[in-house]
Amino acid sequence: MWKYIGKEECNKFLLSLKLFNCKDKKKYLNTIYSISNNIENNYKIYKIKKKNGKYRTIYEPNSLLKHIQRQILVKILDNKAISKYAKAYHKGINLKDNAIPHLNKELILKLDIKDFFENISFIDVYNSCFSIEYFPKSVGMILTYLCTYDDYLMQGAPTSAYISNLVMKEFDEVLGLWCEENNISYTRYSDDMTFSGEFNPREVIVKVRKMLYKLGLELNNKKIHIIHKSSNQNVTGIVVNEKVQVSAKYRKEIRQEIYYIRKFGLESHLKKRNIDIEKEKYINILYGKILYVLQINNKDNEFNEYKKFMNNFKNKF
């Protein structure tokens, strides 16, 4: 369809996307071309410390590029369907939806894709999201440049998460069908894959490893976990042994915070625990944790009572 389209038509196509507000058409096009040709100059790079002590590199686009990426997400990417097995970065889907398929199963296998985003290449993004099937080639290439950094998909851009689901769509569908044929439940939450049922874990690991290899991806051998029903089974932080529930440790920490607030009062509690944070911010954080527990199990009477208790504090600010 787009094979013989010329530069003028491509420019009209770019203008029609309205990726940012600019009445001057020439300036709009020059800006789009300039950013896509010099993408590295439009990112701030920094590191954040992970729980294991290592650091994750974050690539944060500047305000204009971030706005453009959000427009690409809303106007183009959100209209593309992802696999039903993908449970992250999708409106109306949350961690609970990722956990429910694995409830009360004999065995759970958890696998992790190594350096997931950083190993999704420019060509993967182009083929999955912006190929000539959907856009004139030059337009598709520009859109791909706007969503990648140094020819790869990086964490930090608003588009990266949804793009990763589109890149993995065929993988999810093929693997999901194979799992259904073998009575195995499968979901993927970003780079975390979960399998549950009664099966041979080694067979699944071999299957997944081969499929990932075709995509230029690989398993993280340090994050292969096999959990039997007799142990504490959790999926992306949610316990699934008998009912879907936030871990006992997480609940205990919240319970302890509420206890201290009731016993000492909010200000004394913050001083005693050396919590150097504004009261309003602390209340919002704790309230958010309570809401998360209730999102997983809204019939939890204890935490519904905590919610009412915290509402009294929120109303004071």
Q: pLDDT tens, position by position, for the chain (317 residues)?
A: 555 677 888 999 999 999 999 999 999 999 999 999 999 999 999 888 777 778 888 899 999 999 999 999 999 999 999 999 999 998 888 889 999 999 999 999 999 999 999 999 999 999 999 998 889 999 999 999 999 999 999 888 999 999 999 999 999 999 999 999 999 999 999 999 999 999 999 999 999 999 999 999 999 999 999 999 999 999 988 999 988 889 889 999 999 999 998 888 888 888 877 787 888 888 889 999 999 999 898 888 999 999 999 887 777 66
The helix/strand/coil state of 184 is coil
Tell me the two tokens of residue 268.
């004394």
Report the chain's C-alpha Rg in angstroms.
23
**C-alpha angle with apex 100: 309 to 155, nearest 5 degrees?**
85
Closest Cα to residue 47, out of 39, 55, 36, 38?
55
What is d(CA 76, CA 178) in angstroms, rounded to the nearest whole number?
30
Residue range(s) occupied by CATH 3.30.70.270 in the chain = 95-113+166-239
Beta bridge partners of 304: none
Task: Give me 135's structure tokens.
Answer: 């856009």
Count of CB atoms within 10 A of residue 216's CB?
A: 11
CA-to-CA distance for 17 and 19, rounded, in angstroms? 6
**Which stretch of DSSP H or E encloses residue 300?**
none
Q: Contact at 8 Å (CB) between 150 and 140?
A: no
Domain at 95-113+166-239: CATH code: 3.30.70.270
Q: In whole angstroms, what is the distance from residue 125 CA to residue 257 CA? A: 45
Find residue 234's DSSP bridge partners: 239
- For residue 315, the 8-state DSSP code is T
pTM over 0.85: yes
